[in-house]
């Protein structure tokens, strides 16, 4: 099963250790993780379900292409990694 992992910055707000989930797309994998950690959804996604501006999502070391629909494929042994993007000057 794919694993969804969150950076320490997000874990600082919500306890969310890496979790194995079912899902063939980023949306399905994240929804499964949010079922386990419901408070985390608001930190990661906008109300319309798209990824928040300062969050990045990676699958198997590659950034997701579809930040709105999260339709990128997730394979059985992939890691979906969610992190806060750094910004500022």
Interstrand relation of 79-84 and 55-59 (parallel, antiparallel or unpaired):
antiparallel
**Distances from the Cα of 61 to the Cα of 16, 37, 42, 49, 89, angstroms:** 20, 23, 24, 22, 26
Structural domain containing residue 30: 3-84
Is the whole model's pTM more than 0.75, yes or no? yes
Number of domains in the chain: 1
Q: What pLDDT is recorded for position 3? A: 98
The Cα 58–Cα 26 span in angstroms is: 9
35-66 pLDDT, tens digit each: 999 999 999 999 999 999 999 999 999 999 99
| Percent of the chain residues past pLDDT 90, beyond the cut | 85
Do the domain assignments include residue 89?
no
Query: What's 50's domain CATH number?
Result: 3.10.20.30
Do the domain assignments include residue 58?
yes
Helix, strand, or coil here: 40? helix
- The closest of 65, 70, 62, 1 to 41, measured between CA atoms, is 70
**Distances from the Cα of 71 to the Cα of 9, 15, 36, 47, angstroms:** 25, 26, 21, 17
33 band by pLDDT with thresholds 50, 70 and 90: very high
């Amino acid at each position: 099963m794919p694993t969804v992992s969150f950076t320490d910055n997000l874990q600082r707000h919500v306890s969310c250790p890496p979790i194995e989930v079912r899902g063939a797309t980023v949306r399905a994998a994240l929804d499964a993780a949010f079922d386990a950690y419901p408070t985390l959804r608001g930190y990661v996604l906008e109300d319309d379900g798209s990824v928040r501006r300062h969050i990045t999502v990676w699958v198997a070391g590659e950034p997701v292409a579809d930040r709105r629909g999260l339709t990128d494929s997730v394979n059985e042994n992939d890691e979906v990694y969610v992190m806060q993007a750094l910004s500022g000057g």
